[in-house]
Amino acid sequence: MKNFTSVNDVPNIEKLVQDALNAKANPLKMNDLGKGKTMGLLFFNPSLRTRLSTHKAALNLGMSVMTMDMDKHGWKLEFEDGAVMNANTAEHIREGAAVISQYCDIIGIRTFPTLTDRKQDYSEHILNQFMQYATVPIVSLESATRHPLQSLTDLITIREHQKTERPKVVLSWAPHPKALPQAVANSFLEWMIAANMEVSVTHPEGYELSPEFAQNVPIEYNQKKAFEGADFIYTKNWSSYNDYGKILAQNSNWMITPDKMAVTNEAYFMHCLPVRRNVVVADAVIDSKQSLVIQQANNRTYAAQAVLKNILT
């Protein structure tokens, strides 16, 4: 594997899941693999889980780690070719990415969408320029349209808990006071399709995802009906794709509550975190024995470790 920016970079996802489960069983088994190599973690946006779990994964493989908050400590990067840089950008991506490649053997990048310019966001304007001008492998730590490390984690967690060969997995929109990216939802569908899950999506009208990611996944606009017989409820808020980056209405009745979970097949509750309690999900659901959120967060380390292992080898 050269880069890891989407499921399309993965030759065999079941092998990658198995690599992650092997790493979980024995995290330090390959702690010489990355000896003398350096992982660079570049953040244009905040993070708790991605930052710490990817750092831990690299340490488990014997790598050194350097982290930089690009929005706070880096020179402001210019991404336009031919720009006359006489305003507030101080360093061009051409030099920036090439220079970071001198110090790092793998570069991880987190770069959220603008949520104002759909064309630019969905072209992965920033991630693709890092890929173009870096000379070492790139790992997405969440880009404008995808969060593949999260999706791999989610698949691992489902594999650990599924009771049938093809469980019913429902991606449910939930309310949130701020406009959030579509990346986690996009990516989740992409990985669930690739893993041949029985996946469906439920959201209020107007929150349809990009056709590139929604594909032929069934949509049910009645949330409780969608939950019937589900084995996994994966919850996430996202802003509108069609009315790009907008919150259309608060829809507080879409919060995940015990009465909705009651119509499922004793479904597990999943969320990538961070989550706003009693807005996205009721305490009684996230604190229930069916909640997998902490196990998911734990699996972030082993997902990252499997990805780094495959890149290093």
Instruction: Characterize the bridge pairing of strands 64-69 and 38-43.
Output: parallel
Residue 15: count of CB within 10 angstroms of its CB: 12
Q: Is the peptide bond before 274 cis (omega within 30 degrees of 0)?
A: yes
**Strand order, beta sheet including 219-220:** 219-220, 198-202, 168-173, 232-236, 268-270
User: Minimum Å distance from CB 172 to ligand CP?
Assistant: 17
When binding is defined by CB under 6 A, the residue of 6, 150, 223, 291 that contacts ligand CP is 150
Q: Residues 30-49: x/- map of binding to ligand CP (CB under 6 A)? A: -----------------xxx
- Cα–Cα distance measured from residue 197 to residue 170, given in angstroms and rounded to the nearest whole number: 10
Closest CB to ligand CP among residues 47, 162? 47
Instruction: Please name the residue that has the structure tokens 């990346």.
Output: 183
Residue by residue, DSSP assigns 137-163 as -EEESS-SS--HHHHHHHHHHHHHH-S
Judged by CB under 6 A, which stretch of 4-12, 98-106, 257-265, 268-276 contacts ligand CP?
268-276
**Judged by CB under 6 A, does residue 276 bind ligand CP?**
no
**Judged by CB under 6 A, does residue 125 bind ligand CP?**
no
User: Minimum Å distance from CB 224 to ligand CP?
Assistant: 26
**Judged by CB under 6 A, does residue 235 bind ligand CP?**
no
225: its two tokens: 């009906």
Footprint (CB under 6 A) of ligand CP, residues 49-78: 49-50
Closest CB to ligand CP among residues 3, 150? 150
Closest CB to ligand CP among residues 101, 140? 140
**Judged by CB under 6 A, does residue 85 bind ligand CP?**
no
Closest CB to ligand CP among residues 93, 256? 256
301: its two tokens: 């380390």
Closest CB to ligand CP among residues 255, 275? 275
Closest CA to 300 of 55, 106, 68, 104: 55
Q: Which residues bind ligand CP (CB under 6 A)?
A: 47-50, 142, 150, 272-274
